[in-house]
Amino acid sequence: YSPKGFTIYLMVGLQGTGKTTTCGKLARWLVKNGKKPMLCACDIYRPAAIDQLEVVGKSVDVPVFTMRESRDPSKIAKAAIREAEKKGLNVLIVDTAGRLQIDEELMEELKTLKKEIRPHEILLVVDALTGQDAVNAAEGFNEALGIDGIIMTKMDGDSRGGAALSTKKVTGRPVKFVGMGEKMDELDEFHPERMAGRILGMGDMMSLIEKAQEDYDEEQASRLEEKIKKNKFTLEDFLDQMGQIRNMGGIAKMLDMLPGVSNNKNMNIEQSEKDFTSFEAIMQSMTKEERDNPTLLNASRRKRIAAGSGQTVQKINQLIKRYEESRKMMKQLNNPKGAARMNKMFKGF
């Protein structure tokens, strides 16, 4: 974006690539980086396109400019620029119409829009799942319009890295962002060396560290540390830790970033995710007293919790076993001798 003054992003792409959702994700990313964006609805053809952008804008708490009565994208975008500047905002993200395929009418409309509003960057949104079609779209848009960068959606899978590399090769333009999931915060800056590491099973430790720094609740961590010191690690704390992992994108995404793990086909990650969901349901069916003092969980209480959570008594027993293992490890880490033994075990890793 422009370091000073007002920045305009023109978002282009074919239908079905997730362009409108990506507008919202980009807006959220810009807000996190100190910018004040506005979204602009210039897709005047697709039914409910304006409504969709308004929903997206609301979900990321970013204003959306619309002119439902107008059929002129350039007129809408110019009015949006004036409105955004009047409100003291400094970025405009223009969502444009797409087509099922590149055609002359689409390109003429985009060329006119480019000429009228002079965007700082034209960002092409392509779907990694479409493979060669994504590459062809990138080449076509670049030749007709001249793009500045690419945003690759549906990149939550290592095998899709090839599409990113191919679009870069045919256009000479960088892949700037990748969509790594459906949530509005799942838009990441693209780092080719990190993607290569994940494809080769070398992991992506930098992304994992950045994710942890961004999402981990330091105040909550401090409270947990104090509880561990006092040997008061409860099921409630165990649930909180599960929540932290969920906030960081889930166990599957975390493991995917670890060296040597992403290509390990023997790890039942899907089962681990299901266990997390089951444990959450079980603990929500407990009383606070039971979560604070699991020794109260006799046979009759476990049957009641199983009925209330829709889980089995065996699954409750599994949860208690996991909790006891975690509590034992926490206690060991709190013991100077135990911590020394753990350090010795992991020396050289």
For CA atoms 73, 78, 84, 89, the dihedral sign is positive
For the chain, the average pLDDT equals 78
Determine the number of helices (DSSP H) and then strands (DSSP E) in the chain. 16, 8
Which has the closest alpha carbon to 291: 299, 303, 301?
Answer: 301
| pLDDT for position 208 | 42
**pTM exceeds 0.75:** no
| pLDDT for position 167 | 83
Mind listing the pLDDT tens digit for each residue in 280-310? 889 889 998 898 888 899 999 999 999 999 9
Percent of the chain residues topping a pLDDT of 90: 41
| pLDDT for position 302 | 93
Chain position carrying tokens 């649930």: 239
CA distance 309 to 282: 5
Dihedral-angle region of residue 169 (phi above 0 means left; psi in -120 to 50 means alpha; beta otherwise): alpha
Q: How confident is the model at residue 113 (pLDDT cuts 50, 70, 90)?
A: very high
Mind listing the pLDDT tens digit for each residue in 195-253? 544 444 433 434 444 444 444 455 555 565 566 566 677 787 777 666 665 555 555 55
CA distance 189 to 175: 9
Measure the CA angle with vertex 111, ends 191 and 47; round to 5°. Answer: 85
**pLDDT for 65 beyond 50:** yes
Q: How confident is the model at residue 183 (pLDDT cuts 50, 70, 90)?
A: confident
| pLDDT for position 249 | 53
Q: Three-class SS of residue 47?
A: coil
Read off the tokens for 235: 């099921």
Mind listing the pLDDT tens digit for each residue in 311-343? 999 999 988 888 887 777 666 655 555 444 434
**Bridge partners for 178 per DSSP:** 152, 188
Average pLDDT estimate for 56-81: 96
Select, from the ranges 3-12, 179-188, 206-215, 310-319, the one with the highest average predicted confidence (pLDDT).
310-319
Compute and round to an integer the Cα radius of gyration of the chain. Answer: 25
Q: How confident is the model at residue 145 (pLDDT cuts 50, 70, 90)?
A: very high
Which has the closest alpha carbon to 57: 153, 179, 184, 177?
Answer: 184
**pLDDT for 146 beyond 90:** yes
Q: Three-class SS of residue 326?
A: helix
